[in-house]
């Protein structure tokens, strides 16, 4: 083994094993997952206008589910909206309006500005 040359890493030579471990498992690195694999990451805070439209859609879906018409996990929002419209035809336009704006904020890059009040009014109807 006399032919082996050992070279220290400059970063590691000035650190203790404990501080190296803290550095290795800190921040957003993959190895930080190893320090607490069951940690729940916080969801990013959504703007109020988006979260309120998503909440209204959830209330609509919960309301329909309480009337024994739950959304199947395999249904898209538009497929579910058609089922709701068949179930309660007089509210078909309201279901479509709420669903359209939900899809825009949930799956698109659209940030509605003045629509939130209209969606809230439609839900109250």
Per residue in 67-113, pLDDT (tens digit) is: 999 999 999 999 999 999 999 999 999 999 999 989 988 888 666 66
Predicted confidence at residue 37, as pLDDT, reads 53
Q: What is the pLDDT of residues 28-71, one digit of tens each?
A: 555 555 555 555 555 556 666 567 888 889 999 999 999 999 99
Query: Residue 115's pLDDT band (boundaries 50, 70, 90)?
Result: confident
CB atoms within 10 A of CB 125: 8
Judging by beta carbons within 10 Å of its beta carbon (0-12, 13-18, 19+), is residue 96 exposed, middle or buried? middle
Predicted confidence at residue 88, as pLDDT, reads 94
Q: Compute the chain's Rg from CA coordinates.
A: 26
* All structural domains of the chain with their residue ranges: 48-124
Predicted confidence at residue 67, as pLDDT, reads 92
């Amino acid at each position: 083994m006399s032919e082996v040359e050992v070279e220290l890493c400059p970063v590691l030579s000035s650190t203790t094993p404990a501080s190296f471990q803290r550095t290795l498992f800190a921040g957003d690195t993959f190895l930080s997952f190893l320090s607490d694999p069951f940690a729940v990451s916080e969801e990013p805070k959504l703007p109020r206008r988006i979260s309120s439209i998503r909440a209204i859609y959830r209330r609509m879906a919960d309301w329909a589910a309480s009337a024994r018409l739950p959304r199947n996990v395999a249904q898209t929002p538009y497929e579910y909206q058609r089922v709701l419209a068949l179930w309660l035809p007089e509210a078909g336009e309201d279901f479509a309006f709420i669903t359209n704006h939900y899809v825009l904020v949930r799956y698109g890059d659209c940030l509605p500005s003045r629509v939130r009040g209209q969606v809230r009014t439609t839900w109250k109807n």
